[in-house]
A and B are shown apart, each in its own frame.
Chain A
Amino acid sequence: MDASNYLYVSALLFTIGAVGVVVRRNAIVVFMCIELMLNAANLSFVTFSRINGDLDGQVMAFFTMVVAACEVVVGLAIIVTIYRSRRSASVDDASLLKR
Chain B
Amino acid sequence: MLQLALEVGQTAKPEAVMFWILGPLAVVASLAMLLVKKAVHSAILMAFVMIVLAIFYIAQDAVFLGIVQVVVYTGAVMMLFLFILMLVGVDSSDSLTETIRGLRPIAITAAVGFGGLLVSLLGRATIGRSAQGLTEANSEGNVQALAQLLFSTHVWPFEVISALLITAALGAMVLAHHQSTTVRPTQRQLSIDRFRGETLGTAAGLPGPGVYARHNAVDVPALLPDGTPAAGSVNATLEARGDMLDYKKFDLSEVNTKVEEEK
Contact = CB atoms under 8 A, between A and B. Distances in A.
Interface of A is mostly: helix
Nearest to A11: B118
Contacts of A29: 33, 39, 42
A17 B30 contact: yes
A49 to B, nearest CB: 7
Given A51-B131, A76-B81, A81-B175, A16 B23 contact: no
Contacts of B136: 53
Contacts of B122: 4, 7-8, 11
B251 to A, nearest CB: 34
Contact of B175 (A12, A78, A91): A78
Interface in A38-78: 39, 42-43, 46-47, 49-56, 58-59, 61-63, 65-74, 76-78
Interface of B is mostly: helix
A3 interface: yes
Contact of B165 (A52, A53, A69, A83): A69
Interface in A5-32: 5-9, 11-20, 22-29, 31-32
A91 B81 CA distance: 16
A92 B99 CA distance: 8
Interface in B62-76: 62, 64-65, 68-69, 72-73, 76
Interface residues of B, number: 85
**Range for the number of chain A residues in contact with chain B:** 35 or more
A59 B122 CA distance: 22
Interface string B194-227: 0000000000000000000000000000000000
Contacts of A53: 131-134, 136-137
A73 B69 contact: no
B107 interface: yes
A90 B88 CA distance: 11
Nearest to A25: B93
Contacts of A43: 53, 56-57
22 contacts: A1-B7, A2-B7, A4-B122, A5-B19, A6-B19, A6-B60, A11-B122, A13-B30, A29-B33, A36-B49, A39-B49, A46-B62, A51-B126, A51-B132, A53-B134, A55-B138, A65-B68, A65-B69, A69-B165, A72-B80, A76-B80, A90-B92
Given A51-B131, A69-B72, A80 B176 contact: yes
A59 B84 CA distance: 30
Interface string B66-108: 0011001100110011001101100111110001100110011
Interface in B149-197: 149-150, 154, 157-158, 161, 164-165, 167-169, 171-172, 175-176, 178
B144 to A, nearest CB: 10
A43 B23 CA distance: 12
Interface string B47-63: 00110010011001110
Given A33-B33, A46-B56, A53-B132, A89 B149 contact: no
Given A23-B103, A54-B137, A81-B176, 13 more contacts: A1-B16, A6-B23, A9-B27, A23-B107, A39-B73, A49-B60, A50-B131, A55-B149, A59-B154, A65-B68, A67-B164, A90-B93, A92-B100
Nearest to A72: B77
